[in-house]
Amino acid sequence: MLSHLPSLGVGLGFRQPFKSDLFLNRQQVDFLEIVAEHYLDASWQKQQELELLAAHFPIIPHAINLSLGSAEGLDTDYLRKLAALIKQLNPPWWSEHICFTKAGGVDIGHLSPLPYTQEAVEVLCRNIALLRRWIDVPLILENITYMVKLPGAEMTEAQFLAEVVERSDCGLLLDVTNLHTNAVNYGYDIHEFLQQLPCDRIVQLHFVGGHWHDGVLIDSHSQSTPLEVWQLMEEVVARVPVKGIILERDENLPPFAELTKELQKAREINRSYGRWG
C-alpha cells in the first residue's frame, strides 16, 4: 500500500504569517502540511483559507491532539471532526505522533513519550484500529522528541517505532531533526538506530533546526537546518525513496527566500540519488 503512494516532493508546514510569500513563490513549494487542529471547528475565515490553499497545493493534514497512546481510548467527538476534515481534503495520507497528549480526561498540552513496552504497542494498535473505522486514508506516524525517558522499557526506541508501524500497518513520518535531537541529548548511535527501522515504511520526512539551552538541544523549530540534520536526511534518502519532505519552521521566521533555499537543498539531495525533483 505504501509503495503506491504518490511522490509529492518538498514542501512546507503552512504557517499563516508567510501566506502571501507562499503564493508569490508557488513554483518552489510542491505541497503543504497543515496542522489539522487549526481547521477543526473552523471559522468562516479559516475555512476560506483552507479552500484557497487546497486549490493551489496538495495538502497533508498533520494532527497533534488525537493522543493515540492514551490507554483510555480516543475522543470520538474529536475523531468525528478530524475525519470530516480529512474527507474534505482527500489527501493521499495523513499523519499523527507516536505519543499521548491526554490522560484521565485532561489535555496535558504536550506531546508526551510512551514507555517502550508491549502494552504501549497494544494500546497504540487498538486505538489505530478504532480510528480506521472513521478514516480510511493511509496513516503515517511520527517519532517525537522527549525530555525524559520513561522507566520500564522492554525494547529500544527504534525497536518500539518499528514494532508500532509493523503491527499497525502504518507508514513512518521520520522527523530527522527529532532523531538528531534525541541522539544528541541521550547519546545513542544514530546510524544503529536507522538500521533498526523498517525503512520501507518511511513515507515522509520532517526537518528544521532547534537551539541549545543549558546544554540541552531543544526541538524549537526556530533555526535553519544544521549540517548534522542535512547529513542524516541524505543517509535516509540514500536508503529509501521517500514520498515527501516537509520543512517545519514555527519560530523566528526568516525571510521567505531562506526557506525556499532549504527546500531547494532538500530537493537537490533527492535528485542526487535519482529520486523525484
Q: Which residue has the higher pLDDT, 120 or 276?
A: 120
> Would you say residue 217 has pLDDT above 80?
no
For residue 231, give every residue at least 6 positions away whose Cβ sits within 8 Å of its Cβ, in sequence order, or none. Answer: none
The pairing of beta strand 139-142 with beta strand 171-175: parallel
Tens-digit pLDDT profile for residues 139-198:
999 999 998 888 889 999 999 999 999 999 999 999 999 999 999 999 999 999 999 999
Least confident of 46-50, 162-166, 214-218, 262-266: 214-218
**Residue 2 has what pLDDT?**
86
Would you say residue 271 has pLDDT above 90? yes
Cα gap 60→8, rounded to integer Å? 10
Give the model's confidence band at 252: pLDDT under 50 very low, under 70 low, under 90 confident, else very high. confident
- Residue partners of 111: CB distance under 8 A and separation at least 6: 64, 97, 99, 101, 144
Strands 9-13 vs 32-35: parallel, antiparallel or unpaired: parallel
Average pLDDT of the chain, as a whole number: 94
Q: What is the pLDDT of residue 86?
A: 98
Residue 119's pLDDT is what?
A: 97
pLDDT at 219: 82
- Residue closest to 146 by CA, chosen among 193, 181, 194: 181
Three cell numbers written together for 102: 491526554
Answer whether 0.75 is exceeded by the pTM.
yes
Max Cα separation, the chain?
Answer: 51
- Looking at the predicted structure, is the pLDDT value of residue 76 above 60? yes
* CB neighbourhood size of 12 (10 A): 24
Residue 188 CB coordination number (10 Å): 15
Give the mean model confidence (pLDDT) for residues 4-23: 96
CB 223 within 8 A of CB 170: no
- Residue 184 sits at φ, ψ, to 5 deg, of -65, -50
**139, 131 contact by CB (below 8 A):** yes
Whats the size of the chain, residue-wise? 277
Which of residues 106 and 231 earns the better pLDDT score?
231
* CA nearest to 265, candidates 254, 253, 277, 255: 277
CA distances from 111 to 179, 208, 235 (A): 15, 18, 27
8 Å CB contact between 31 and 60: yes
Neighbours of 14 (CB within 10 A): 23
pLDDT in tens, 84-99: 999 999 999 999 999 9
Secondary structure (DSSP) of 93-137: -EEEESSEEEETTEEEEEEEPPPSSHHHHHHHHHHHHHHTTT--S
Q: Give the whole-number percent of the chain exceeding pLDDT 90.
A: 83
16 contacts: CB under 8 Å, gap ≥ 6? 49
- Cα(168)–Cα(190) distance, rounded to whole angstroms? 24
C-alpha to C-alpha distance for 268 and 265, rounded to whole angstroms: 5
